[in-house]
Amino acid sequence: MALKTTEEYLNSLRQLKRKIYVMGQLVDDPVDHPLIRPSINSIAMTYELALEPEHEDLMTCTSSITGEKINRFGHLHQSTDDLVKKVKMQRLLGQKTGSCFQRCVGMDAMNALDSTCYEMDQKLGTDYHQRFRRFLEYVQTNDLVVDGAMTDPKGDRSLAPSAQVDPDLYLHIVEKREDGIVVRGAKAHQTGMINSHEIIVMPTVSMTEQDKAYAVTFAVPTDAEGIVYIYGRQASDTRKLEGGSIDTGNVKFGGQEVLTVFDNVFVPWERVFMCEEWEFAGMLVERFAGYHRQSYGGCKVGVGDVLIGAAAVAADYSGAGKPSHVKDKLIEMMHLNETLYACGIACSSEGRKTASGTFLIDLLLANVCKQNVTRFPYEIARLAQDIAGGIIGTMPSEHDLRHPEIGPYVEKYLQGAAGVPTENRMRIIRLVENLTMGAAAVGYLTESMHGAGSPQAQRIMISRQGNLQHKKKLAKNLAGIEE
């Protein structure tokens, strides 16, 4: 069973027994919970499109491990063409869902881990790569959703992991046993965690020898004993509990972020891929961050396509679609969006083969891509709000529109261009609101800023990889300077 259907995916989630809290309440059935289901629908789209012949080339590929047809989200990139198709796939899914579809983190973790484990084994004589490949074969064969868990709560940011007052503020090994290890800590901001079957845990920063207990990487099922999930809040999230569909903006899809607590979780040795090899923590972090920064050149562009379209429709519905200044704003939005896409394609096309055979993106261009992502979506959102108008923050609710007494007033006074139903105008305005300051803004804007590392993290990598000394030599040579 290399490719699951949507229904098989939903049924597989129902079989998991996990401790999940949403707004202080223990949830028995997350699949049909109104706050959670939109995010599940987004992941379900990754299964649905994989079975459509029209999208087969982007959504599926041949496994380098089993030789079978698999979902691309479980694939190890074997060429620059694979890297490019990854970005194109992410743009497609962003267009289809208008939200975060959540499987990118796991895909990026698996690719970063494959090359890191191989090089760790080559130097240290360990067998982590063989363990990891066995795990990945299991993931591919069963078409599982894997979440990558890197971000620790971090506590006092001025202190190293081993120097924290509370040692659990970075996830760490608390016991090594004959049959495995026991870990404790938490991973924050975990995208799609409740919608996943497996978790790959990674260190969040480069380590020193004093931090070696924190240099740990492993995989566990999401229903492993000792894991507790605490669902994150999003702006306007309780609109999903109100009934109706207009005020949610995106009527079917959404994202998800979770605080994931590991309370003395046991991990068998066959699922441990790094255990105190602190000198390789930085390599894993750098490669994962690079892959994930590449991802944002696809997913955020797809959601940007939706937002640009929504802004244009809002202008048409209000009768403001023809003025040149509105057209110019839409052109600027498209220019910014396509620039992000160009960066994603560029870092993919300039990728290279690693020692394990897996292809790595150009890390400098990937960091440039993500640096632009920390800026351009905010300008696209600003222009979308400008075009949509002030009604984006003052519009009455769907309940008012449906009310027998005041509904006719809403219908009459929120009318836009002649022939456009008021309900349609309200729907598109709510979508712009959702994408720029509602629940979807977490996936489009907050993730654009902080996902895959803060803007300063990319600037540090650009400084390291930009080869400034080479640029100085070029300038001196042309200026006729000899030193």
Establish whether 296 is a catalytic residue: yes
Active-site choice (97, 198, 292, 374): 292
Establish whether 332 is a catalytic residue: no
The enclosing H or E element of 70 equals strand 69-71
Active-site choice (61, 100, 343, 347): 100
Establish whether 299 is a catalytic residue: yes
Helices and strands: H and E segment counts in the chain: 17, 14
Distance CA 19, CA 21 (A): 7
Region class of 51: left (phi > 0), else alpha (psi between -120 and 50), else beta: alpha
Establish whether 104 is a catalytic residue: yes
Establish whether 191 is a catalytic residue: yes
Q: Which two tokens stand for residue 94?
A: 């962003």
- State the burial class of residue 400 (Cβ atoms within 10 Å of its Cβ: 0-12, 13-18, 19+): middle
Establish whether 257 is a catalytic residue: yes
Active-site choice (104, 275, 347, 369): 104
219 and 149 Cβ atoms separated by less than 8 Å = no
The residue count of the chain comes to 483
Q: Which two tokens stand for residue 187?
A: 């991973």
The DSSP code sequence of 287-350 is HHHHHHHHHHHHHHHHHHHHHHHHHHHHHHHTT-SSSHHHHHHHHHHHHHHHHHHHHHHHHHHT
Establish whether 275 is a catalytic residue: no
Active-site choice (47, 170, 296, 317): 296
Active-site choice (61, 231, 257, 398): 257
Q: Which has the closest alpha carbon to 443: 265, 302, 343, 246?
A: 302
Adjacent-strand bridge partners of 258:
190, 231
Establish whether 100 is a catalytic residue: yes
457 and 465 Cβ atoms separated by less than 8 Å = no
Q: How far is CA 298 from CA 16, 86, 441, 453, in A?
A: 31, 8, 17, 17
Q: Which two tokens stand for residue 308?
A: 């640009």
Active-site choice (61, 117, 275, 299): 299
Residues with active-site annotation: 100, 104, 191, 257, 292, 296, 299, 447
